[in-house]
Structure 1
C-alpha cells in the first residue's frame, strides 16, 4: 500500500496546472480477477482521451500527455500488487498514484486541479489511523481506515531487536570483569546478580536502539502527519517505545498482549474500538459549535455556497460539512468574490462543493464528508468559521 499523507495531498492540491486528470477505480488484490485491473484502467484512459478531445486538444497532444500512464497498462507486476482502490493523477510532470485500502467508484475528472472528493473519508472521521504492533522478534506497521487494514512493509528499518548490532556487549564485559574473582563465593554472587542486572540492561538498551530506529522510519513516512497511532504489545514494551518516540499522536490506550498471536483483522477490530471515540470527538465538537453559533444567530456559521466559497478562499473556515454524494456546478471569481451556480455540468464549471473542500484543507481546516441528513440544518454544505 502507498502512504497518502496530508502533506502529499496538499502538494498535489497546490500544484499549478493547466490540466489535471484524476482517475479513481476499484482494484482486485488477488486471484484471477487481478487480470481486470489493467483492463479497467485502459478503459478509463480512453474515457480521459475522449474528454480531452472534446475539450479541443489534438490527438497527438492527448497521446503525449497520457503516454506515461498508458505505458503502465502493460506493467504486470504493478497490477498484481494492488489494494482495494487506485487513485491516479496525471499532470504535466507525469503522474502520481496511491493504492489505498478503500474501494472507489470509477470516475475520470478533468480540471486544472486535482479532484479530491473521493479521498475526503481518509482525512475525516472515517479516516486513517495506524497500528504499530511491537515485538522484539518482528514489529509490524498497519495503515487503517474504518473498513480496512493493510500492512505497511517496513523497509530501511531493522525488523527486530536482534538486527541491532553492537560492539560493546555488556555480557562480554561481565565475563572479563569476573575472570579474576577474589573468592568462589564472590564469583557465585556476582554471577547470579550482576549477570541478571546486566542482561536486563542489555535488553532494554537494544530495545531502545531498535525502537528509535523504528520510530525514525515511521516519522519519515508520516512527515507532517497527525494520524492517531495505536500501540499493540506486551505491557513492558509500551512505555519504552513511548519514552523514545517522537511520533506526535500516539493514542493513550493500547492493545495489551503479544501481537504476534493476532491477525491484522483482529488488531484492526481492537484498534478501531480505541480510535472511534477520538474520530467522533472532532465531529461532535464541530457540530456543537455550529449549533451554538446558529442559536446565537451570529456570523460564525454559514450554510450557503455563495457565502462559503469566499470564506474558504480567505481561510476563514475551521470546519466544513459537505454532502459526499452530491455536486453543485458553478464558477468562482476570486477578484470580486462572486459565485455563479449552474443547473448542470459545463466545460467551464467545477464542483463547488469539492472546491470548498479543497480550499478548506489547503488552509488548515477540517472537512467532514457526510450524508446530507447528517449535515447541520440538513443542507448540502455547512461551515463553522474561525473569525
Structure 2
C-alpha cells in the first residue's frame, strides 16, 4: 500500500530524470493477459520521451531495464491489484500495487510524478488499525480501499516482550525441614507471599499494554491520522488510559481481532472511521465556504497564492480534484509563479507540488469532485484562480 512514508521517500529521491509509469491492472480473468502488453507499450512511450529529450538509446534502455524485466515476468503478473505505479531513476526502481485503477500515463522529467496517488493519501482515506491481544500485536496501514500490515513498526509483538518477569513464583511457607511433622501440610492454608497469580497477570497485562501504547505514540508522532483499536474490553480499557492519541483514537472494536479475517477487520474498521472522515470533509468544506463568504484572507483560490503558501508551510487544508496537470515553475527566491499551456522543460505540475508540500508539512488534502468544488467556489473565482483548487491557511 502506498503510504505517507513512501511519498516522502519518492520526493527525497528526486532524480534529475525520473520516469513515472501508471497503468490499470487486473487480479484475475482473461484481462490479466493484457497487462504485460500495456506495460510494453508504456515502456515504449517512455523510451520515445527519453530519446526525444536527448537521451542516448542505450542509456534509455538502461533506465527502463527494471520495467522491461517485468514484462515477461509471469509470476509478477499473477499477483496484482487494480493499479500499478512504477518509478525509475538514478539506478533505483520503486513499484506499488494499489487497490485503485489508474489511467495509462507516462511522465518523464525531474523527480517523480505522484499526483495520481493522492487519493490514497487524502484526509478522508488514510487510517491505522491497531490490533492487540496478549499473544500478538499487529499494526495495519489502511484506507477506504485496502489494508496492509506494517511489519517494520517498532512495537512489542506479544506479552513475552514485556519488561515484567514472565515467570511467576508461588513461594509457600510450610513447616521447617528440621521440625518433625505430626501431620500433612495443609496447602490451602499455607501463606502465599507476593502477588497472587491473578494479580500478577493483571499487572503484567497493564505493563505490556502500556509499553504498546508508548511505542505506538512514538510511531505516529508528527504524522497523526485516525486510529481504530481492535482488542478485548480489558485491553482496550488499559490502552485508552495510557495512550496520548486523544481524539485521533476514533473508536475501539471490542472483540478478539484474531476471530476476524483480514477482509472482516478492514470492513469493520473502515465502517467505524468513515463517519469521522465524512464529518472532517464536510466541516473543512463548510469552513472554506464560510471564509470565502466573509472575504477572509485565510481562504485562497489563486493558484499563485496556493503554490506560494504551500512552499511556505502555511496551508492547513488543500482542496483538489482529479484535474489535468497545471504545468509551470515556481521560483522560491522571488515567489513568482509561471504557468504554461503545454509542458516545457523543467516544468512541474504546480498543483501536485502544492499538495506534496502540504502533506509534508502536516496539512490535510481533500479530493472533491469537480461539481462540488465548483459549487463552493461559485461567485468567488477570478482570472487568477483555478476552478479545481482552493486552500485554507493556518494563518
Shorter chain as normaliser: what TM range? 0.7 to 0.9
Structure 1 Cα separation of the partners of residues 300 and 326 of structure 2 = 16
Where does structure 1 lack aligned partners over 5 or more consecutive residues?
Answer: none
Map 1:356-375 to 2 at 5 A. Answer: 356-375=354-373
SS of alignment partner, residue 318 of structure 2: strand
Structure 1 Cα separation of the partners of residues 294 and 253 of structure 2 = 43
Which of residues 83, 86, 89 is equivalent to 1:88? 86
Structure 2 Cα separation of the partners of residues 74 and 166 of structure 1 = 53
Q: Radius of gyration: which is bigger?
A: 2
Structure 1 Cα separation of the partners of residues 252 and 352 of structure 2 = 36
CA contact (8 A) 1:158 1:214 kept: no
Tell me the CA shift for residue 335 of structure 1.
4.3
Correspondence for 1:384: 392
Structure 2 Cα separation of the partners of residues 81 and 204 of structure 1 = 45
Q: Deviations over 1:326-371 (max 9, x none)?
A: 3333343444433333334455543322232223333443222221
Tell me the CA shift for residue 13 of structure 1.
2.2
Compared with structure 1, are the counterparts of its residues 184 and 9 closer, same or farther at alpha carbon in structure 2 (3 Å cutoff)?
farther
Structure 1 Cα separation of the partners of residues 253 and 338 of structure 2 = 51
**TM-score (structure 2 length as normaliser):** 0.78
SS of alignment partner, residue 313 of structure 2: coil
Tell me the CA shift for residue 274 of structure 1.
2.3
Structure 2 Cα separation of the partners of residues 77 and 115 of structure 1 = 27
Which of residues 270, 278, 281 is equivalent to 1:280? 278
Structure 2 Cα separation of the partners of residues 208 and 84 of structure 1 = 42
Measured on the aligned residues, the alpha-carbon RMSD in Å equals 3.9
Structure 2 Cα separation of the partners of residues 37 and 250 of structure 1 = 40
- Is 1:169 aligned with 2:167? yes
Structure 1 Cα separation of the partners of residues 158 and 314 of structure 2 = 47
Q: Deviations over 1:272-292 (max 9, x none)?
A: 232123223443343333223
CA contact (8 A) 1:208 1:244 kept: no
CA contact (8 A) 2:3 2:121 kept: no
CA contact (8 A) 2:63 2:91 kept: no
Tell me the CA shift for residue 271 of structure 1.
1.8
SS of alignment partner, residue 299 of structure 1: coil
Structure 2 Cα separation of the partners of residues 312 and 349 of structure 1 = 17
Structure 1 Cα separation of the partners of residues 165 and 335 of structure 2 = 66
CA contact (8 A) 2:315 2:358 kept: yes
CA contact (8 A) 1:101 1:144 kept: no
Structure 1 Cα separation of the partners of residues 265 and 322 of structure 2 = 29
Tell me the CA shift for residue 31 of structure 1.
6.9
SS of alignment partner, residue 357 of structure 2: helix
CA contact (8 A) 1:178 1:187 kept: no
Q: Deviations over 1:279-326 (max 9, x none)?
A: 234433433332232222232222122332233333332221112233
Structure 1 Cα separation of the partners of residues 49 and 358 of structure 2 = 28
SS of alignment partner, residue 233 of structure 2: coil
Q: Deviations over 1:39-96 (max 9, x none)?
A: 5434332221122122221101111222244345555555444444333221214122
My pick for the range that moved more, 7-16 or 254-263, is 7-16
Map 1:54-65 to 2 at 5 A. Answer: 54-65=52-63
Correspondence for 2:383: none
Tell me the CA shift for residue 211 of structure 1.
7.5
**TM-score (structure 1 length as normaliser):** 0.80
Structure 2 Cα separation of the partners of residues 339 and 78 of structure 1 = 42
CA contact (8 A) 1:301 1:384 kept: yes
Correspondence for 1:354: 352
Which of residues 250, 253, 266 is equivalent to 2:251? 253
Structure 2 Cα separation of the partners of residues 224 and 186 of structure 1 = 59
Tell me the CA shift for residue 238 of structure 1.
1.0
CA contact (8 A) 1:125 1:368 kept: yes
CA contact (8 A) 2:15 2:112 kept: no
Correspondence for 2:187: 187
| Alignment size in residue pairs | 380
Q: Deviations over 1:122-167 (max 9, x none)?
A: 2223321122233344554433212333455689977654788997
CA contact (8 A) 1:101 1:149 kept: no
Compared with structure 1, are the counterparts of its residues 166 and 355 closer, same or farther at alpha carbon in structure 2 (3 Å cutoff)?
closer
User: Greater helix share, 1 or 2?
Assistant: 1
CA contact (8 A) 1:20 1:110 kept: yes
